[in-house]
Structure 1
Amino acid sequence: MELGLHIADFTWTGGAPALGPALARHAREAEQAGIRRITVMDHFWQIRGVGPKENDMLEAYATLGFLAAHTENALLHTLVSGVIYREPAMLAKQISTLNVLSGGRVGLGIGAAWNEEESVGLGFPFPPVGERISRLEEALQICAQMWSDSDEAYDGTYYQLGSTLNVPQNLSAPRPYLMVAGGGEKRTLKLVAQYADACNIGASPEAAHKLDVLRAHCDTVGRDYDEIEKTAIFRIDPSSTVDDMVTTGLELTDLGFTAAYVYASGITDPQRIIGMFADAQRRLA
């Protein structure tokens, strides 16, 4: 079991004036502790389950660029981008730009989006879930085409591109790491089987069933289930211990997951987070 650092709570000691140096130090210390995956949320307000919406939140792709400049080895991506936040061609270009500038270390995590309150507040369109998932599939197709040798047009139901020219191309081959997150059994997990390198599913009692559903979709579309990385996500807070992290990690391993992204909520000292990660990862290795 490999642990990834998911940075979801930026409400640290020192506040906004200290946030830049603290985040840079957090990322460097994560790499020094052996962490090889660092992710951030793609939200504009803090989300429920982490803190009040008024808490500090950084825009994801500016933050990934900052993290790329302060790390050397870690895979970087969002966990995950809502498809409605950006035009897919813009998103594909953002990923390619960061992939090139980071030496091939930036990938894409994407999902159908869920935060209606945030979208309404900031003026993002928030169509019904069926349309959001259809847009997600078209976005995956657009990214695949832009990350290929083709510069042909794309004509979808929701997105029309006159040309998919994308230069420079990504340094990672054959494309950037691609995660589709979500546990929707009829469509989202089928999109994982069709397009993704990895899934991401919450560490819940339904997790094992979700993997069974993914396996069935792989059989249906002719995809090797073992090609897809199975990742989960879980939370730690000030009451959590290293033993708690190890126990959850072992439980997820038994279910068939090989990586877990862990996010802290309410822990205002980033160094404490890294210390817990380092101890837990050594015991899970």
Structure 2
Amino acid sequence: MLANMAAALDIISGGRLELGIGAGWNEEESGAYGIELGSIKERMDRFEEACQVLTSLLSQETTTFNGRYYQLKDARNEPKGPQRPHPPICIGGSGEKRTLRITARYAQHWNFVGGPAEEFARKRDVLAAHCADIGRDPEAITLSAHLFLGPDRNYGQVIENAAALEAEGLDLGIVYIAPPHDPAVLQPLAEAIRDSGLCDRE
């Protein structure tokens, strides 16, 4: 179902879809909807299978898969979206043994959930090592991170954090704004980013 929805959105958006996926973490939300997440190991096992199934359904004519969690026989997903071989996949998380290994194999975009530049750099190196293990160029993966604008609206701190992460290879910063959400923060934030020169760097 997710592959079908993703293909439809890729078509409707004219090839602008980026598919963000993960193993599941919000137990409170899942419990409220009656969704059984399972143990962390079960989540990661299911997620790794899901990545295989999704990439195949979004790129191959038919998919046959016999896993623990997913079983498909000559499954079709048509029509496919315009992005080839499939819409870029974004995986967020920092687990060094499973999440970053799965990211190295299947993702075009890795999202670091936030933290100091030193931690980002260490996780980046783990991801690069997993890429080396399978012969993939780590430069093929976009690196992003969350940047937090707190209630104090310290725009300078956001810029400082972004610059420190950029120095360690960050490609994209995603700013999270603390509630209550107020559109008035957007203009000074945009001006601070513009004045920093970060957007002008290659």
Q: Considering the TM-score relative to the shorter chain, is it more than 0.5?
A: yes
* Match status 1:142 vs 2:43: no
Q: Does 1:280 align with 2:189?
A: no
Deviations 1:46-70 (A, max 9, x none): xxxxxxxxxxxxxxxxxxxxxxxxx
Match of 1:93 in 2: 4
RMSD: 1.5
Aligned position for 1:110: 21
Q: Are 2:152 and 1:244 aligned?
A: no
Q: Find out whether 1:123 has 2:34 as its counterpart.
A: yes
In the alignment, is the contact (CA less than 8 A) between 1:242 and 1:279 conserved in 2? no
Q: Is the 8 A contact 1:245 1:280 kept in 2?
A: no
Structure 1 residues 59-92: Cα deviation after superposition (integer angstroms, max 9, x where no partner): xxxxxxxxxxxxxxxxxxxxxxxxxxxxxxx111
Q: Following the alignment from structure 1 to structure 2, what is the Cα–Cα distance between the partners of residues 122 and 277?
A: 36
Q: Which sections of structure 2, spanning at least 5 residues, go unmatched?
A: none
What CA distance in whole angstroms lies between the structure 2 residues aligned with 1:104 and 1:229?
A: 18
Partner amino acid, structure 1, of 2:124: L
Distance in 1 (alpha carbons) for counterparts of 2:85 and 2:37: 32
Q: CA deviation at 1:164?
A: 2.6
Q: What is the DSSP-based 3-state SS (H/G/I as helix, E as strand, rest coil) of the residue aligned with 1:233?
A: strand
Question: Residues of 1 paired with 2:44 and 2:188: CA distance?
Answer: 36
Query: How many Å apart are 1:115 and its aligned residue?
Result: 1.2
Alignment of 1:11-50 (within 5 A): none
1:280 maps to a residue whose letter is: A
Q: Which position in structure 2 is the counterpart of 1:204?
A: 115
Q: Does 1:216 align with 2:109?
A: no
The residue aligned with 2:103 is 192
CA change 1:160–1:101 in 2 (3 A) is: same
How far apart, in 1, do the equivalents of 2:110 and 2:171 lie?
11
In structure 1, distance between residues paired with 2:74 and 2:192 = 47
CA contact (8 A) 2:91 2:109 kept: yes
Aligned residues: 195
Structure 1 spans left out of the alignment, 5+ residues = 1-89
Percent of aligned pairs with the same amino acid: 38
For 1:209 and 1:237, the matched residues in 2 are separated by 25
Length-normalised TM-score, structure 1 = 0.65
**Are residues 1:256 and 2:172 paired?**
no
C-alpha displacement of 1:216: 1.0
Greater RCO (CA < 8 Å, at least 6 residues apart): 1
TM-score w.r.t. the length of structure 2 is 0.90
Change over 3 Å in CA distance of 1:137–1:280 after alignment to 2: farther
1:18-70 deviation line (CA, Å, top 9, x unaligned): xxxxxxxxxxxxxxxxxxxxxxxxxxxxxxxxxxxxxxxxxxxxxxxxxxxxx
Supply the AA of the counterpart residue of 1:214.
L
Structure 1's 238 and 161: CA in aligned 2 closer, same or farther, altered over 3 A? same
